[in-house]
Structure 1
């Protein structure tokens, strides 16, 4: 899936992503700082029916949300992670293999811990401030 969009269209983009047939529940997000990974994840969390405000788990590494249907959503921001050992010690693999939604920013910090069977979203900021999204499921 390839989509060009503006930030005003991000909720519709989140809906399109979640309507992807057989979408994997572990999704990695790849983009430079400031391109909109967290903003897109907030839209996805909202589209899944999470009632509470979502925010980046920059300092806690993971935030947990519950949808109105009782599904669990984990949002990881691994930017401040020092090593894969640190991630493993916090039990990150248990989250990844829980069967729950896992949205992972900065997955390159834990390349050996990301499940092989995952989806990946690549975001790029364009000159006109729009974004290009590529989903590999």
Structure 2
């Protein structure tokens, strides 16, 4: 899907494009999917480097870089369902990651709450098993 198509796309298509670009590892294209100011939050422990609030594209770039450096391999990543109502969507799925610094696996189901404006993501709230993430980062 091209950037122009995404700009005219609905919420479901924008969320699907997010997963496509995230999976491809194309940081520039991924960041283009977000508005300049974002309401971003990944709930969790302060010991997990990718958790917390962010609001700018520079902060998002740091998030994606950190996640890429911290996660050695994704053994599994599945999106089970995307449900959209107007400009708001929810994605449900599951994943298994391996954390580089400890070699431990981190397995979780997730819910991702996204809101879209003009084909761009303006709100991104990720809910995952924060306890399991913190355990995977513990030495």
Please give the TM-score of this superposition, normalised by the length of structure 1.
0.29
Q: Greater strand share, 1 or 2?
A: 2
Choose between structure 1 and 2 for higher RCO, CA contacts under 8 A separated by at least 6 residues.
Answer: 1
Q: Greater helix share, 1 or 2?
A: 2
